[in-house]
Structure 1
Amino acid sequence: MEPVTLTTDRLVLRAPGPQDTDAVHTCAQDPDIQRWTTIPSPYLPEHARSFTEQLSPDGWADRSMFTFGVFLPDGALTGMLSLTMRSPGTAEIGFWAAKEHRGRGYTTEAARTASRWAFTHLGVDRVEWRAEVGNTASRAVAEKAGFTLEGTLRSATDNKGVRRDCWVASLLPSDLGLPSTTPYLPAPTDRPAPTGAA
């Protein structure tokens, strides 16, 4: 698949390329990004090159991961966002924000925009967000973007060789007023739990 560009009133979401390598490397020096994401630490120039020249274009080409750089109209990189296909109809969203651009709602705006695109162009019926327990900044972005927290998964993420618990949340097409590609029958919440069979 050829990369696409998405725009909002404030942002341009486009696939990162070689011209963005230096900006990605600079942003990724932030200790918080290295702590809470699975990027290598220390994050070296060759890691940024591999990301912009191989990982991102390969993901678009084989439709396994759709990576967007989140830019201001003047070209400043505010963050990065990826939608990784986990199973048919389900994509996992991940993102980080450049330190100097946090607190302005850019990542929330980008997450909603990319999720809407996934629902309308990829046949996705569930966008899932996961983050290590304690990553309250990422959780705040997800919740502001409309994701519903579903719980904590034990030992469900591996960050630099250490298994950790993570939060999980989801966004469905109906949360954005969109139809699903397949019927969805939510579990009833007002009935007592079934008894007898185990």
Structure 2
Amino acid sequence: MQSVTLTTERLYLRELEPADTDAVFAACQDPEIPRWTSVPSPYTREHAAEFVGQLSPQGWRDDTMYNFGVFTRESGALVSSMGLVRLAQLGAPVHQAELGYWTAKEQRGRGYTVEAARAVCRWAFESLGVERLEWYAEAGNEGSRAVALRLGFVMEGTQRAKISQRGTRRDTWFGALLPSDLGLASATPYLPYDPARPAD
């Protein structure tokens, strides 16, 4: 897929470019980012250059990851890296995807992550045909969970030993957002479980 640009009231989201390498490198020096994500630790400038120059654009080309750099419209400062991963396709549309993100330390607490993620979720539902968006975070990642809840994700539980983080298996929290949660239609009708409904 050709990369796209999204805009919100305060932000613009676009494919990361080589000129963003230093900003990504600087943001990922915050120990909270590798603590809660799969970002390598220690995070080197070479890691940033590979992510910006190879992994992110390749994801768009191969339809395996649609990653955005999120920037303020006012100053152009990097806010976060955010995207859709684990794209599940049946035919042409993407029916299911996982939303992932990290936010630069100095940009937290301003509502930027929720603002950007809301735009990505709507784009996923309206332009890609996604019918289920999933969110995962290591259990205990209260910041990521707060963002997901503000977006309308419904928490579905805890999965034991779901991820391996630096040699240790850890539990994850997970949730999902459906088009109907945002008042949007879905190509495939959804029939929620109802114990009072007669069996088909």
| TM-score when normalising by structure 2 | 0.93
**Offset of 1:109 from its aligned partner?**
1.0
Structure-1 residue corresponding to 2:115? 109
Which residue does 1:11 correspond to in 2?
A: 11
2:124 is matched with which residue? Answer: 118
Deviations 1:132-187 (A, max 9, x none): 00000000010011111010011111222321100001111011111112111111
Deviation for aligned residue 1:34: 1.2
Q: Counterpart of 1:191?
A: 196
How far, CA to CA, are the matches of 1:164 and 1:86 in structure 2? 23
3-state DSSP of counterpart to 1:38: coil
**Structure 1 stretch displaced more, 86-95 or 102-111:** 86-95
Q: Any idea what SS the aligned residue of 2:170 has?
A: strand
For residues 56-71 of structure 1, the aligned pairs below 5 Å read 56-71=56-71
State the distance in 2 between where 1:86 and 1:6 align: 19
Q: Which amino acid aligns with 1:191?
A: A
What are the residue-to-residue correspondences of 1:35-184 with 2, within 5 Å? Answer: 35-73=35-73, 74-88=75-89, 89-184=95-190
Distance in 2 separating the partners of 1:5 and 1:37: 24
Following superposition, the deviation at residue 58 of structure 1 comes to 0.4
Q: For 1:11-51, what per-residue CA distance to the aligned partner results, in whole angstroms no more than 9, with x for missing partners?
A: 10111110100000000000100100101000001100000
TM-score normalised to the size of structure 1?
Answer: 0.94
Spell out structure 1 runs of 4+ moving beyond 4 A. none
Which amino acid is 1:65 matched to? M
Distance 1:149 1:78 in 2: 25
- 1:86 Cα offset (Å): 3.8
Matched, 1:2 2:8: no
Deviates more, 1:158-167 or 1:135-144: 158-167
Distance 2:65 2:187 in 1: 20
Three-state SS of the structure 2 residue aligned to 1:185 is: coil
Task: Give, as a single letter, the amino acid of the residue that structure 2 aligns with 1:115.
Answer: C
**Number of residue equivalences:** 192
Q: Is the 8 A contact 2:65 2:87 kept in 1?
A: no
1:100-119 CA-to-partner distances (Å, cap 9, x unmatched) read 11011100111111011011
Gaps of 5+ in 2: 90-94
RMSD: 1.3
CA distance in 2, matches of 1:167, 1:40: 21
Structure 1 residue 191 displacement after superposition: 3.1
Q: Distance in 2 between matches of 1:137 and 1:191?
A: 37
